[in-house]
Structure 1
Amino acid sequence: MSDTPPTAPVHADSASRRALIVVLDGVGCGAAPDTEAYGDTGSDTLGNIARQVGGLALPNLQRLGLGNATEVEGVPPVVHPVGAYGVMLPRSAGKDSTTGHWEIAGLHLEAPFPTYPQGFPPAVIDAFAQATGRPVIANRVASGTAVIAEYAEEQQRTGAWIVYTSADSVFQIAAHEEWIPLDELYRACEVARRQLVAPHDVSRVIARPFVGAPGAWRRTANRRDYSIQPPGITLLDVLEAAGVPRAGVGKVDDLFAGRGIRSTHTTDNVEGLEAIRNWLETAPRGFCFANLVDFDQQFGHRNDVPGFRGALEAFDQALPSLLASLREDDLLFITADHGNDPTTASTDHARERVPLLVAGARVRGGSLGGRDTFSDLGATVADWFGEAWRGRGTSFLSDLLHA
């Protein structure tokens, strides 16, 4: 990264400018002011993983300033970080991916999405079964892999949907791809999405297809998320109105109900990183919003500390290739949407602050401090493209660039 001052003012012609947000799904970094109120006391995804494994090897994130932003064993602070660093506090109600991504994009919720620790009410289930023509089994809080293991054979006998939820606001539908066609599963999710309105306006309806046989069930990569529409303006709306090209990687378009963005859907972090590299190598200008889901989906929810560690270190090893693809007018932001601490008894999301790292030729290394909301990131991206900001948050662009 260069220490050369920018050749144009902050709000100069943005025709060649690009910005990339990479969300490390579930990679929180410690308590927020209201963590206790969410039942997540003690959660510190990055810090606790590092302590449990005797330190993490993340030299490239370290050079950007990760150890300066938050305490991570094995990742000490550096004297001269090449990136800007800080942490961001969650302010929107809730702790799921939709809430976190919406807050990054400038939209806050005053109340969290509804959750169903006792399963969904009979009226909700009955309406769904009648509209889709299949009965429903399970209807309880469960791990996806566990609920499939328990109910798959019953689904084969009866043709029923396996419906389950979690501590998050989700209506999940599991179906074996050989017994219930994918198209039918997706149509059923669309039915559920239309039916689940207030007061049962869950954040996401999720298609959870699987294959296999008893003792060897396996969820496939054909998952789809059907989010509720954002109830207000987001960064994506602002950029769309301004004619700034927008691309997504992973489930981002699902989280915004497809409004203002289309994504390259990926099966894992490896594919996600490849899609990010492809955007960096080919996009002439614009904005990319990427989600790398393995940290959360594969390891956080399964309390798999070694797997989470491996995913963090694999991302760190891939980071130089992303940095090498940055152009003079690029900003790369690395952050998260919530925590998912695999060292705690819980297998669900945690209310945590998140790291904020920024790289680019124009970025001056140094502290961005503790940002009062994730929305400061969305405000900064809008500012980078010279657009007036109408969402929550305050731009830190002037603190980010060389004078």
Structure 2
Amino acid sequence: MRRVFILLLDSLGIGSSKDSKLFGDDGSDTLGHIAEKCFLGKANQGRSGVLRIPNLTKLGLAESAYQATNRFPLGLNRNLPIISSYAYASQVSSGKDTISGHWEISGVPILFDWYYFRNKFESVSTDLVNQIIFDSNISGIIGNCHASGTDVLDIYGETHILTNKPIFYTSSDSVLQIACHENFFGLQKLYELCLKVRKILNNKKYKVARVIARPFLGEKKGSFFRTNNRKDFSIKPIDDTVMVKLIRENLGTVISIGKVSDIFSNVGISYSIKSNGIINSFNKIIKEIKKAKNNTIIFANFVDFDSLWGHRRDVSGYAKGLELFDQNLPKILEIITDKDLLIITADHGCDPTWKGSDHTRENIPILLYQKNKKSVFLGHRKTFSDIAQTIASFFSLSKMNYGKSMVSNELTF
């Protein structure tokens, strides 16, 4: 019986890639800078003590970071035995966003340019706004600017409640985000609006990666908060992912946990499970592992690292999240079999010590764990798609169009 479990720590980059200067990210290092701040006692919110992630360290996370940066993360224990094969990978996709990272991991790199809303103060053009208003039967929009997802609520939240006009905002990523109050506007109405906007963008040939519904609650400035009912409306993958191949060629099953199904517009997903929070996600992953059958992929995204701590530049929160993940990791290591393949990776960086609030262009770790297999350093992978090609090899699927399998004389399944 062969099964693959992918745990994706959203934004856990391990050092800026060679092309990071093109993105203004040269010198960024999500894991390294978190470890450094903890080691030096300079993590925010009063955190003290080194970063404690012994299980991830034993799976090769720190060693993969060392290979990527030539710097071993400060405070991590280099004397722990490595029990997993590991590598680091650079990205070939044009963007440093969530879809570009996930799609490339699945074997479909983004080799075209996304559409970006470049104007920070009137992001969506007047013609496009008018089309959205006409097709969606709304009275207008507010915001329409580059903004932080939390700041925008304090700025426009009260006006939104008074006018019932949705808040549109953008960022440096290829995303159009729409924030509406769950009670005053309505959650389902927000989803329907986002779907209409997605269709308008598609029809007008705008290659915007995601339209994101951002529901919130609260009564006035200072009390607004985003809920867990976020939903992403993504472009469909432009080629067959490894998940599609598993379903088609092996009659396999692909289970999405977290926002993965949204990222792939539900293509190549057998069924999805909504999840928020690290412990909640672990509980749902464990439940699915226990009942998973042959030819199954469980693909889980731990979004909190990115949304709660990376973008908000919260070093202490990110560190605590990593430690909580690490503490729960043995629960999965204990129940998988020696026929299973556990993959731990990331999709981009979001260095909480970096300027601004955007993602950072970084290398990612690839940790490949099988019980009773020796540890092998698998080198520098030139594309995230090597993960998909390796999964294709594991399941004996036809080859992906991109990527090189990590299966070799040293690493066999």
TM-score of the superposed pair, with normalisation by structure 1: 0.93
Match of 1:11 in 2: none
Check conservation: 2:11, 2:306, Cα contact below 8 A. yes
Match of 2:244 in 1: 237
Matches within 5 A, 1:3-402: 16-54=1-39, 55-70=50-65, 71-78=72-79, 80-118=81-119, 119-134=123-138, 135-197=140-202, 199-214=205-220, 215-242=222-249, 243-261=251-269, 262-285=271-294, 286-361=296-371, 363-398=373-408, 401=411
CA deviation after TM superposition for structure 1 residue 109, in Å = 1.5
SS of 2:177's partner is: strand
| Paired AA for residue 149 in structure 1 | D
Cα distance in 2 for residues equivalent to 1:103 and 1:153: 40
Which moves more between the two structures, 128-137 or 293-302?
Answer: 128-137
SS of 1:248's partner is: strand
Cα distance in 1 for residues equivalent to 2:344 and 2:36: 22
CA deviation after TM superposition for structure 1 residue 111, in Å = 2.4
CA RMSD of aligned residues (A): 1.4
Cα distance in 1 for residues equivalent to 2:410 and 2:106: 19
CA deviation after TM superposition for structure 1 residue 80, in Å = 3.8
Cα distance in 2 for residues equivalent to 1:43 and 1:260: 33
Check conservation: 1:81, 1:366, Cα contact below 8 A. no
CA deviations on 1:270-311 (whole Å, 9 max, x unpaired) are 221111111111112211111000000000010001000000
Check conservation: 1:234, 1:391, Cα contact below 8 A. no
CA deviations on 1:211-241 (whole Å, 9 max, x unpaired) are 1111211111111001001111211111111
CA deviation after TM superposition for structure 1 residue 113, in Å = 1.3
CA deviation after TM superposition for structure 1 residue 244, in Å = 1.3
Query: Structure 1 regions of 5+ residues with no counterpart?
Result: 1-15
* Structure 1 residues 111 and 355: alpha-carbon distance in aligned structure 2, compared to 1, 3 A threshold: same
Cα distance in 2 for residues equivalent to 1:391 and 1:294: 31
Q: Number of paired residues?
A: 388
Cα distance in 2 for residues equivalent to 1:130 and 1:306: 45
Check conservation: 1:68, 1:78, Cα contact below 8 A. no
* Structure 1 residues 146 and 399: alpha-carbon distance in aligned structure 2, compared to 1, 3 A threshold: farther
SS of 2:211's partner is: strand
* Structure 1 residues 79 and 402: alpha-carbon distance in aligned structure 2, compared to 1, 3 A threshold: farther
Check conservation: 2:388, 2:400, Cα contact below 8 A. no
CA deviations on 1:115-143 (whole Å, 9 max, x unpaired) are 11321111111111111122100000101
Check conservation: 2:58, 2:80, Cα contact below 8 A. no
* Structure 1 residues 151 and 323: alpha-carbon distance in aligned structure 2, compared to 1, 3 A threshold: same
Query: Structure 2 regions of 5+ residues with no counterpart?
Result: 40-49, 66-71
* Structure 1 residues 62 and 154: alpha-carbon distance in aligned structure 2, compared to 1, 3 A threshold: same
Check conservation: 1:226, 1:254, Cα contact below 8 A. yes
Which moves more between the two structures, 161-170 or 126-135?
Answer: 126-135
Check conservation: 2:57, 2:80, Cα contact below 8 A. no
CA deviation after TM superposition for structure 1 residue 196, in Å = 0.9
* Structure 1 residues 325 and 213: alpha-carbon distance in aligned structure 2, compared to 1, 3 A threshold: same
